[in-house]
Amino acid sequence: AAVKAVGLSAYCRMRDSNTQYDGRSFEELRHECLQNGVLFEDPDFPAADSSLYYSQSVPVNIEWKRPKELCDNPKFIVGNADRTDICQGQLGDCWLLAAIASLTLKKDAMARVIPHDQDFDHRYAGIFHFQFWQHNKWLDVVVDDRLPSVRNQLIMLHSASNNEFWSALLEKAYAKMHGSYEALKGGTTMEAMEDFTAPRNLFSIMKKALDRGSMMGCSIDITSSAESEAKTASGLVKGHAYSITGLEEVNFRGQKVQLIRIRNPWGQVEWNGPWSDKSREWNYVDSAEKNRILQNSAEDGEFWMEFEDFKRNYDKVEICNMTPDSLTDDTKRHWEVSLFEGNWIRGSTAGGYHRLCSV
């Protein structure tokens, strides 16, 4: 069985993009800089030591320079963004680089994370932006293009081409979102992949998984040990593992509503919001459909809730796929296995490292 743990925020509904700086959009900030004939300087993530490290001193020879100070003909992207464009710098964030390399293979996803409405042409104003999926919405992160360098060489993530800067600027935006470059040390590739993606079809993916016999669980993250198994006003328990046991669509006042059934293994303590066992929403559902879905509903730890509420309240979904079928394809795909029996014969068919004579 293949187990996949994903942050729920990576799969939630798309909403309008936000910006981190001053409540204004990237376009507004760039237009203002162009009108005033100035290059953007980000006050939220300045060219200062605090943007680099929070627990160690900064080498005195680090300089923050814009791409036009580092080369004669800077480009945002040279040709097409490619996984070979990514070269690791002094920072221990190979997990992020691995996710970025994978992102370059998904052109649609990459176009969302790395908007192409920016370059070093007539629109250049020293400002760039990138989009990451955070807290159930796309966050538009703006940065200036001052990059840490030593002797005119970038010291963090950089491209194999000396005049290409999309990867260095992407890393800077991601560092800003986390507070500093140092904060990017020691993450996991899954974290970055979640921040780069936001499919709209989580309900259908989970429904297909259940229909194919997969097992699923969910949980609410905690920020401190004091929150562990703390009950919320809506009846949910933080830091507690739940089972996902069903997904349904019901007709409610002329519209389709997506519902999810969750079980608390305690056998008690249930969601008390909309679509809970005795909520008024069920009064507007056809009685036959209601009886089919609720069956012998009781205070047994199992409850229904609207899928949108589920996405707002839970942070993580775990899927154990019991078959090798793809959950995102309309048709099942099966692995094909071929078995060939034989044996290694020393000096004839044996293989391995040439210095190990025993093989």
Active site members = 94, 240, 264
The position carrying tokens 């798309």 is 14
Strands 18-19 and 215-219: unpaired
Q: Write the secondary structure of 235-304 as one string of H (helix), E (strand) and C (coil).
A: CCECCCEEEEEEEEEEEECCEEEEEEEEECCCCCCCCCCCCCCCCHHHHHCCHHHHHHHHCCCCCCCEEE
Place of tokens 């509503």: 257
Q: Return the residue matching tokens 């099966």.
A: 334
Query: Which strands make up the sheet holding 63-65, listed edge to edge?
Result: 63-65, 147-150, 153-154
The DSSP output letter for 162 is T
CA 113, CA 280: separation in Å to the nearest integer? 41
Cα radius of gyration rounded to whole Å, the chain: 26
Residue 204: strand, helix, or coil? helix
Amino acid letter at 291? N
